Homo-oligomer: A and B are copies of this chain.
Amino acid sequence: MNIFICGLGLIGGSLAKSISVRTMHTVIGYDTDKETCESALACNAIRKIGTTDDLKDADLVIVALYPSATVEFVKENLAKFKENAILVDTCGIKTEVCKALGEAVKGTSIRFIGGHPMAGVERSGFDHSFASLFDGASMILCPEHCSDCVAVQKVSEFFGDIGFGRITISTADHHDKVIAFTSQLAHVVSSAYVHGEYATDHKGFSAGSFKDMTRVARLNADMWTELFFQNAENLSTVTGELIDNLSKFKNALDTGNRDAMHTLLADGNDRKIKSENI
């Protein structure tokens, strides 16, 4: 099929590379940055540098932009889409985006399925994209605005073909609640952690635990600010819960309560083992 990818950053670029390397589909790449387009064409990640006029030939449109830009692009260009085209976004939050895109495609033949590829690295842009970024990862699909089961099946197979290890079907609401905890909070904590005094003065005094704890503090502040505020309530809730849990550890220390600390650590150990075996 013809696949139109809008946005050739880390996610869009990696999708393009994986599709071009692993399938016979034709990728048309679209990005407002001319150099990025040329780079993508030069390395055969895309077959053609597209314009929005090429949307008329695309069986599948993947939009890999920030949430607000994703909604904007679709609204502006929906009239150019091919009849019965499938539209998938890749935003890290789903409720607001799915609502807006669901409304946009209402009454048209376009079949919209929300998407969130659960992979990333702490770099951005096409230059850091690579074909195996999604290997073994989960592709979350939120098909609540798509009543066409065949399209959902087709999209699921497609993402399996390009390396994803599992397809996770979810509602946008459930997605945003869990993602607030598993991904957004981890970025908040990493970022808050490196605000500590010794974060820039740890040479010789650190090992894997510090490195892993702070890995994702290296982030794109523009993108994550937008993602956080599209999921502010859920993220605030889980941040508050973590603060409460940290306070229990601090309280055990301050009151010299070794039993309480031991119980917290032992429970944490049990829960971590359980979290790996689900």
Beta-carbon contacts under 8 Å, A131-179 to B: 137-138, 140, 166, 168, 170, 175, 177-179
CB of B268 within 8 A of CB of A256, answer no
Is residue A274 contacting chain B, with contact meaning CB distance below 8 A? Answer: yes
Find chain B residues with CB under 8 A from A247 CB. Answer: 243
CB of B200 within 8 A of CB of A182, answer no
CB of B268 within 8 A of CB of A194, answer yes
Find chain B residues with CB under 8 A from A232 CB. Answer: 253-254, 256
Q: How far is the CB of A153 from chain B (nearest CB, A)?
A: 17
Give the distance in Å from the alpha carbon of A175 to the alpha carbon of B228 in the complex. 36
Q: Which residue from B177, B183, B193 sits with its C-beta under 8 Å from A207?
A: B183
Total count of chain A residues near the partner, CB < 8 A: 89
Q: How far is the CB of A227 from chain B (nearest CB, A)?
A: 10
Give the distance in Å from the alpha carbon of A267 to the alpha carbon of B225 in the complex. 13
CB of A218 within 8 A of CB of B138, answer no
Give the distance in Å from the alpha carbon of A271 to the alpha carbon of B140 in the complex. 32
Is residue A1 contacting chain B, with contact meaning CB distance below 8 A? Answer: no
Give the distance in Å from the alpha carbon of A187 to the alpha carbon of B265 in the complex. 9
1/0 per residue A209-223: CB within 8 Å of B? Answer: 110111111110110
Find chain B residues with CB under 8 A from A207 CB. Answer: 118-120, 137-138, 182-183
Beta-carbon contacts under 8 Å, A46-104 to B: none
The residues of A with any CB-CB pair to B shorter than 8 Å are 118-120, 137-138, 140, 166, 168, 170, 175, 177-179, 181-183, 185-210, 212-219, 221-222, 224-225, 228-229, 232, 235-236, 238-243, 245-250, 253-254, 256, 258, 261-262, 264-269, 271-275, 278
What are some 19 contacts across the A-B interface (CB < 8 A)?
A140-B204, A168-B203, A168-B205, A170-B204, A182-B202, A182-B210, A185-B193, A190-B213, A191-B264, A191-B265, A218-B272, A219-B269, A224-B265, A225-B265, A229-B253, A229-B258, A232-B256, A236-B254, A243-B246
